[in-house]
Amino acid sequence: MASPSYRLINPQANRSFIFKWEPFDLTTRWHYHPELELIYFIEGKVSGVMGDGFREFDEGEVVLLGANFPHVLQPHSEYTQQYPTARPFGLIIQFTDCFLGEAFINSPELQGMKQLFERARRGIRFGKSASKKVTDVLNEMPGQPDSRKLMGILHVLLTLSETVDYDYLTHQGYYFDHGRDEERMWQINQYVYRHFTERITIADVAAIANMSETAFCRYFKSRTLKHFTRYLNEIRIAYACKLLQKPNYTVTEACFEAGFNSLSYFNRQFKEIMQLSPQKYRQWAAAKKLE
């Protein structure tokens, strides 16, 4: 298999973590990222390449992947044959090991959580007993405000740090060298996150990377498997999605506040990225809150 690609995780505005309660994207390539990733498999079965091996995941399972752990979720062949129109669904929470600050994670009271993050560099699959202890909290999160989500995440991580009911996804000697280009990609990500609601040009970001525009475009595509414009649009659409979940925002207001300067272009990009129109997305998100 080819080497995994570095993946820039699109930040979600006004959050210190990424929260995705939606069908799994089973079309991405094998990748890694600095964020840890907690996955809760809710509906359907999926397969995946995890570190150095192939794994299958069923409903109710909980997995924690450490920073820079290579992985990809893929369709489960038997499940897909039996349910060809089904879309496996779950919860993904992504966060850095110091998403609440260096002092927080280094406090004496959280050494168990810090050790959990270190163990997760080999990938952790929790057993039924451990998973059952946290699934009620995870199921409640979609309808909660972000402050409650944060408290729930800490509760889940602390609970998982205290259990011995888990297995590793990789062998004991597993190691993946992830040192290439991380500082440069981090700087790019931070710049875009701070300025995505403003006008951003290739020249602006190329200067951050200390490259010519041509070299930057080639570099960015080779590291992320996507064009920079696509990446920027994905961040803006993610922010627009959050705005559209608020009843007092119109589609037009969400468009311009997210950094787009054309409503027609916004609508095209939204549908291409989300596979729904902005209005359809708003209806889908409202229905999910009522479930």
Q: Comparing 201 with 225, which gets the higher pLDDT?
A: 201
The structure tokens 């959580």 sit at: 113
Radius of gyration of the chain (CA): 19
Report pLDDT for 181.
61
Bridge partners, 125 (sequence order): 63, 167
Q: Which CATH number fits domain 182-290: 3.40.190.10, 1.10.3210.10, 1.20.1440.230, 1.10.10.60?
A: 1.10.10.60
Q: Are 234 and 258 in contact (CB under 8 A)?
A: no
pLDDT (tens digit per residue) in 167-194: 999 988 887 766 656 678 778 888 988 8
Whole-angstrom Cα distance, residue 41 to residue 73? 11
Of 8, 10, 57, the C-alpha closest to 32 is 8
Whole-angstrom Cα distance, residue 71 to residue 291? 30
Report pLDDT for 254.
95
What are the CB-based long-range contacts (under 8 Å, 24+) for 198-202?
Answer: 198/259, 199/259, 199/261, 200/232, 200/259, 202/228
Whole-angstrom Cα distance, residue 121 to residue 36? 9
pLDDT interval class at 212 (50, 70, 90): very high
23-32, 143-152, 196-205 — which is least confidently predicted?
A: 23-32
**Tokens in use for 269?**
């990009």
pLDDT (tens digit per residue) in 67-107: 999 999 999 999 999 999 999 999 999 999 989 888 998 99
Q: Are 64 and 83 in contact (CB under 8 A)?
A: no
List the CATH code of the domain at 5-168. 2.60.120.280
Domain boundaries, given as residue ranges, for the chain: 5-168, 182-290
The mean pLDDT value for 195-203 works out to 94
pTM: 0.70
- Asked if pLDDT for residue 158 goes beyond 80, the answer is yes
Bridge partners, 38 (sequence order): 64, 93
Q: Give, in degrees to the nearest 5, the angle at Cα 70 between 210 and 152.
A: 100
The structure tokens 């939204």 sit at: 270
